[in-house]
Structures are given as structure tokens and as C-alpha cells.
Amino acid sequence: MYEINALGKACPLPVILTKRAMKEFPNEDLNILVDNEIATQNLKKMADQLSFQTKIEKKGVSYYIVHLTKEAIHFDTVSEPTKEEQPLSIKEDGSKTVPYIVSIHSETIGEGAEELGSILMKSFFFSLSEQEHLPEKIIFYNGGAKLTAQGSPVLHDLQAMATDGVEILTCGICVEYFNFEDKLMVGEATNMYRIVELQSTYKTVSP
């Protein structure tokens, strides 16, 4: 059993340290010590993708042990297909569409009038929700993270797209920074390692 002390380390460091340990000790089960719940969630998602069983123990107010038990070694199996491997969607008329994601880093679109930028963002998400070809995922970070929280002006459109199968992902560090862990209204928290992974894999749209 190999132990990783990630106490005091913000995401995505616990995930990165764990992936390194998986490569260095491929036959070992792992214990990861972390001090926040979002880190445990991110570790579980990664473990699920790599076929590890996960057990999470809460030892204190901000002390968790994440146990990862190897089922099978699939470390070389990436969690998302490469651009070349991504399947094309074929419409009824025979035309092809490429899977894409949307990346949002602000509550508003553009610079200048903040009120206008907010109106444009509302219009963007309404227009996006009406597209025949929806994104695979929508990623939110920095100020954009607030759009997935309670009171968001675009929450209705986000929830509608989530119902249609669009994965909504919000930066976990941002959720903690803006202190709305209990007000995240759609989708789930993720980490910057995963965000970079997705942005480098999919065609990315950012308004």
C-alpha cells in the first residue's frame, strides 16, 4: 500500500500526484490523504476511469483518506478519445458534425458594458440550448463558475441541456473560492487537470 500525503495541496495536485504514483507503482494499492471533499470527488472520478475501486474515509472535519484498490491496470487508456478517434455524428442528410465542448471563464461576454455582457451571455446560452448539435460538455471556471450556482441567470438553459445529456463541469477550486459548495445547482465539480485534458482533446468553443 503506497501512501500519498496531499494535505494542504489544492486541486489538481492530488490528482496529478496520484497519477504519477500509479505510473511509478503500477502494482500497488494507494492511500491518498486530502483535506477537502472536492479532492475526494476528483480522485474518485479519475479512479473510476482507470478501473480502480474507491473507498473514502472521513477522519475529521477536513481530513479524508481515499483508498484506491486496483481492479485492473488500464492506465494507458485515456478517459477521452483523441481528436482522431472521436466519432463523427452523422445527420439525416448525410452531413457530419464534430464533437465539441464549450469553455466559459466569465459571467459576461466581451469587454466594455457589463450589463450588455450579461445580456449577451444569456443570449449565448439560450442560442446554444436551441442548437441541433449540442456540445458534449460545458466547462466553467473563474468568474464563469458562478453561472452554475444558485441564482444564475442561465440556470434554466443549463439544466435543460444537462437533461439532454450535456455534461456540466465547474472548476472545484473556483467553487471553493466563491464559497458555493452547497449552491452548485447543475452538474458537478472538476479539477484543472481534467479541464486541460478536455480542452486539448475536443474542439473548444469559447464566447
- pTM to 2 decimal places: 0.73
What is the reported pLDDT for 36?
A: 87
Angstrom distance (rounded) from CA 193 to CA 68: 19
What is the reported pLDDT for 87?
A: 54
What is the reported pLDDT for 79?
A: 43
The length of the chain, given as a count of residues: 207
Residue 202 has pLDDT above 60, yes or no: yes
pLDDT tens digits, one per residue of 91-113: 555 556 899 999 999 999 998 89
User: Which 3 state secondary structure label does DSSP give 139?
Assistant: strand
pLDDT tens digits, one per residue of 8-61: 988 888 999 999 999 899 889 999 999 988 889 889 988 888 888 999 999 888
CB-count burial class (<10 Å; 0-12, 13-18, 19+) for 3? exposed
Residue 204 has pLDDT above 80, yes or no: yes
What is the reported pLDDT for 45?
A: 87
